[in-house]
Structure 1
Amino acid sequence: MKKKISITIDSHLLREIDSSVDNIYIRNRSQAIEFLAKNALGERKTAVILSGGAEESLKIGKDFRPTARIGKKTVIELAVEKLRASGFRNIFIIARQHALTAMFNILKDGSGYGVKVDYIEEKESSGTADSLRLARGKIEKTFLVVYSDIVFSRANIDEIWNSHIKGSSISTLMLTSSNEPSEKGAVTMEGSRIIEFSQKPAETETNLVFSPIFACEPELLECRGASLEKDIFPRLAEKGLLSGYISAQKERHIHSEEDLKSSN
């Protein structure tokens, strides 16, 4: 929700603000002020690490995917360090009891990693949207979501974030290319807008797919549907409220012992 305000500002500063209007992403003074204010508040950015669903599906041997080690660090540590480097200081982790406890035993309150970590326990869910919705009431501003079973050290999440706050979508998804788009969330784009999102389609002509990192507004938490990929993203695309950022750098999924070995 946007609110109209009246402010008094130095004329020289106002000229600097106006100079950021590029008539592409930032079309007027109000958008310029909003963009600059969000960047200035970057040190307080919020991210959610989503690790919901049945715990057995998160296992690699005796470990959970986010607590499995790649070299000297766990997947969850690599995620937190990457987020911290991009200015995300407030981090929520959503998972079921045992996975949540395993991550807490590594991260504690997050202070050792320069962040504040809050833990949200999931009791049950029918999909990714159900899991994420547990953050409702706890987040009241733009936030980032990353899935817990990926390594995304090379992804430019600053650009994903900036692309989102310059736009007007409810969510901006990180997109990469894939030779097997029917195994993922396939998207069709027009400019920066995603006009169609299809989860694991039987046939598709696109090779652009959703990588599990996205920026979004709190309104996303109010959208109905159990699954982000099957319910919410397709509906947002139809309404023109879903954008994409095409990344040359891909995330690495950690689903097996082989994935761990190849990531070392």
Structure 2
Amino acid sequence: MTQTSRPEAVIVAGGFGTRLLPLTERRPKHLLEVGGVPFLEHQIARLAQAGVDHVVLATSYHADLFKPVLGDGSRWGVRLDYVREEEPLGTGGAIRNVADVLGDDPEGAVVILNGDILSGHDLPGQLRDFETPRDGQRVDVSLHLVGVEDARPFGCVPTDASGRVLDFVEKSDNPVTNQINAGCYVFRRDVVDLIPSGRVVSVERETFPGLVAEGRLVVGYVESAYWRDVGTPEALVAASREVVLGLAPTPAVAAAPPARVDEEASVGDATVDGGSLLLAGVAVADGAVVSGSVLMAGARVGAGARVVDSVLGPGAVAGAGAVLEGVALGDDAVVADGVTVPAGERVPCGERR
């Protein structure tokens, strides 16, 4: 089968980012910086590299903040459209909600990305596999699958020798396979229109199992490249660190070990390493140690403070001699001089400890 148009893409970016609180109290998770740029820039750049020329953002929470940051897509050579959900519609509902701005080629490929996955998998390879019929039958949907050591916390997706998806199995103490859904799909354009409109739909629980039950060809594209769900403060810090250190794919950001420090930041006589990210207006005082952490715009670290594997939201302050390890500070949160914040703590926006 020959594809008659260039692939399009939809990024599902409507979630509230609850797992990332307090960092998402004032902004969508998709615009949090990873390795020096808003997270969605990584995804848009990777889509452009794969030949996609039209990207649709399915937004909802703080929808007005996306376009001022990302613009019209011309930076990446793509056309970027924005479609807002008036109420949450689930993954499938969000995809169906943008159908009117997609092209009309029924055989066209539509790449769907979950808006919180950083992946280095071979998307062009998945697209080529998508265009390869099985026994003369076209592929309707392709799912990127990854193998994990312990699949018990995940839903599993078993496939046969040709790659055909056989079932979708919920979490189990005895998984039928170690293959799990990695959050990148390719839909045939006319299959998007099969999703019911105007209501909540889950592709994982409703759309995909329904297509398999109907005998449509749903295949898995199994690959073990870099993959990370950037859905918690800890994962955000780890992803940013891995981008800076060159351990993760970087289509939008050049790696700059041992740290990435904005030219408008000030680090004084401090130690900044471990793949840390310091954005504009950050100030780190003499004698402080910042390692493996993300300091967002305007954050400040006092003299002799220790900030390790932590994230400081815009304007947040770690006072002189403070100790933060594995901590998330919301916007304008303050940790007073000499205070040690318990590991794993999340300090809400504007709060003082």
TM-score band by shorter chain is 0.7 to 0.9
Match of 2:160 in 1: 190
Q: CA deviation digits over 1:85-136, x for unaligned, max 9?
A: 11111000001051x3222121111112221100000111342111111122
Match of 1:252 in 2: 228
Structure with higher helix content: 1
Secondary structure (helix, strand or coil) at the match of 1:163 reads helix
1:223 to 186, 195, 209: 195
Secondary structure (helix, strand or coil) at the match of 1:214 reads strand
Match of 2:147 in 1: 177
Matches within 5 A, 1:1-264: 31=1, 34=2, 37-38=3-4, 41=5, 44-54=6-16, 56=18, 59=21, 61-62=23-24, 63-98=27-62, 100-139=63-102, 140=104, 141-152=108-119, 154-167=120-133, 168-191=138-161, 192-201=163-172, 203-221=174-192, 222-224=194-196, 226-238=201-213, 239-263=215-239, 264=241
How much does 1:73 deviate? 1.1
CA distance in 2, matches of 1:148, 1:59: 16
Tell me which moved more, 140-149 or 222-231: 222-231
CA RMSD of aligned residues (A): 2.1
CA distance in 1, matches of 2:174, 2:210: 19
Amino acid at match of 1:195: L
Segments of structure 1 that go 5 or more residues without pairing to the other structure are 1-30
CA distance in 1, matches of 2:114, 2:170: 16
CA separation of 1:123/1:182 partners in 2, compared to 1, >3 Å: closer, same or farther?
farther
How much does 1:226 deviate? 1.2
Amino acid at match of 1:197: F
Q: CA deviation digits over 1:55-88, x for unaligned, max 9?
A: 6466561442211111211110111111111111
CA distance in 2, matches of 1:182, 1:240: 27
Instruction: Indicate if the aligned counterparts of 1:65 and 1:254 stay in contact, CA closer than 8 A.
Output: no
CA distance in 1, matches of 2:79, 2:22: 27
Secondary structure (helix, strand or coil) at the match of 1:120 reads strand
Instruction: Indicate if the aligned counterparts of 1:49 and 1:91 stay in contact, CA closer than 8 A.
Output: yes
CA distance in 2, matches of 1:204, 1:102: 41
CA distance in 2, matches of 1:259, 1:97: 21
Instruction: Indicate if the aligned counterparts of 1:185 and 1:229 stay in contact, CA closer than 8 A.
Output: no
| TM-score relative to the length of structure 2 | 0.59
Seq. identity, % = 21
Secondary structure (helix, strand or coil) at the match of 2:157 reads strand
How much does 1:207 deviate? 0.5
Question: For this pair of structures, how many residues does the alignment match?
Answer: 224
Segments of structure 2 that go 5 or more residues without pairing to the other structure are 242-353
| TM-score relative to the length of structure 1 | 0.77
Secondary structure (helix, strand or coil) at the match of 2:86 reads coil
Q: Taking CA–CA contacts closer than 8 Å with sequence separation of 6 or more, which of the two structures ends up with the larger relative contact order?
A: 1
Secondary structure (helix, strand or coil) at the match of 2:169 reads strand
